[in-house]
């Protein structure tokens, strides 16, 4: 069976042989984004921005300086863009959209020589309703073509123990502090790219997504791993394939819903008896979720700590907390950042 890209090239060649030429206005950019999403940033521009109703609000909103405007067109640097989505929200013309990895994932699912595993984010209950269980999703994903499904929340539970141990080890005297929330790639990027002096206060832990992918690839070395969650920024995290065991692709919930709709697959009632993660692991990506999990872990192990907590909720809160830390004016010693309001 030919791939979508091969069919596209074949049709183009046939049309050119038949004497049909491409319009001078033809733009191959949208098709190339669809076929090769990893060559582009998590956010891609569509349409002309010759006249901007927002007066360059997308550029002004980007704290990573990833957006440039040249000859009326917006260019987004894939090396700088973290996929935080702020520019998408402020663009009044709707000319910035989420990049999509549907095509390469479908191609992987059609390749029966490789196993493909879904890594489902802890937020699935909030997306599919409180009655939706992991068993229902696993059954639906298998109908789509996935080999199996792994709950990332279980790895959030494991990483909670590491975060707790790191705090107990490194925060021992006045002035010590720890920056946490390994599940938010934009928070980590903000520290790494803008507040480099604080990098040493971030525990050396990968995100639950990466941890889940590593285990799958340890057990199934040739498997393809696809993280499925609500966060577009995860696309920037998987773009860094230098991280051993990183997921191969990321689909947002809107993308997986589109695939399910196209395949006419719906969630069906089934036994919901395979819950393997704690409530705290499932709430890991909520604002304050990592902190709650760490405190509960220490409580259950008999090592309660007198931590002074700062829960930075949203980009403005995160920036304020980091500025205060840099100036040694933040009294808290356990600082969690989540760029999305509410997580």
Mean pLDDT across 309-318: 86
List all residues 6 or more positions away from 201 whose beta carbon is below 8 Å from its beta carbon.
170, 177, 178, 179
Most confident of 75-79, 239-243, 269-273: 75-79
The long-range contacts involving 51-56, CB below 8 angstroms and separated by at least 24 positions, are 52/93, 53/92, 53/93, 54/90, 54/91, 54/92, 54/93
Instruction: Kindly report the number of other CB atoms within 10 A of residue 135's CB atom.
Output: 18
Q: What is the mean pLDDT of the chain?
A: 84
| pLDDT for position 43 | 94
Residue 246 DSSP SS3: coil
Q: Is the pLDDT higher at 303 or at 71? A: 71
pLDDT band, residue 1 (cuts 50/70/90): low
Q: Is the pLDDT higher at 64 or at 128? A: 64
d(CA 76, CA 52): 16
51: which DSSP letter?
S
Reported pTM: 0.86
Most confident of 1-5, 169-173, 328-332: 328-332
- DSSP β-ladder status, 73-76 and 67-70: antiparallel
Most confident of 1-15, 145-159, 175-189: 145-159
Residue 130 has pLDDT above 70, yes or no: no
pLDDT band, residue 225 (cuts 50/70/90): very high
d(CA 104, CA 281): 29
């Amino acid at each position: 069976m030919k791939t979508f890209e091969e069919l596209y090239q074949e049709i183009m060649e046939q049309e050119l042989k038949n004497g049909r030429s491409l319009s001078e206005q033809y733009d191959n950019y949208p098709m190339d984004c669809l076929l090769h999403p990893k060559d582009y940033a998590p956010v891609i521009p569509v349409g002309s921005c010759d006249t901007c109703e927002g007066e360059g609000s997308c550029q002004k909103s980007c704290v990573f300086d990833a957006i440039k405007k040249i000859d009326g067109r917006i260019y987004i640097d894939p090396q700088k863009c973290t996929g935080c989505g702020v520019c998408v929200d402020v663009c009044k013309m709707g000319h910035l959209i989420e990049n999509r990895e549907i095509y390469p994932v479908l191609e992987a699912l059609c390749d029966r020589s490789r196993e493909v595993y879904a890594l489902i984010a802890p937020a699935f209950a909030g997306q599919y309703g409180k009655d939706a269980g992991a068993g229902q999703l696993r059954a639906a994903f298998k109908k789509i073509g996935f080999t199996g499904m792994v709950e990332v929340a279980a790895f959030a539970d494991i990483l909670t123990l590491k975060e707790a141990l790191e705090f107990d080890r490194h925060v021992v005297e006045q002035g010590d502090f720890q920056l946490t929330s390994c599940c938010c790639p934009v928070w980590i990027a903000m520290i790494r790219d803008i507040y480099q002096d604080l990098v040493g206060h971030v525990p050396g832990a990968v995100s639950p997504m990466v941890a889940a992918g590593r285990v799958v690839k340890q057990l199934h070395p040739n498997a393809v791993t696809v993280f499925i969650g609500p966060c577009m920024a995860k696309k920037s995290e998987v773009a860094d394939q230098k991280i051993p065991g990183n997921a191969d692709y990321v689909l947002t919930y809107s993308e997986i819903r589109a695939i399910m709709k196209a395949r006419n697959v719906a969630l069906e009632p089934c036994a919901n008896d395979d819950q393997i993660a704690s409530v705290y692991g499932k709430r890991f990506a909520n604002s304050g979720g990592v902190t709650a999990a760490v405190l509960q872990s220490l409580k259950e192990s008999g090592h309660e700590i007198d931590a002074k907590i700062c829960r930075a909720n949203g980009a403005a809160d995160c920036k304020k907390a980091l500025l205060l830390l840099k100036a040694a004016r933040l009294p808290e010693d356990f600082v969690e950042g989540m760029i999305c309001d509410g997580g």
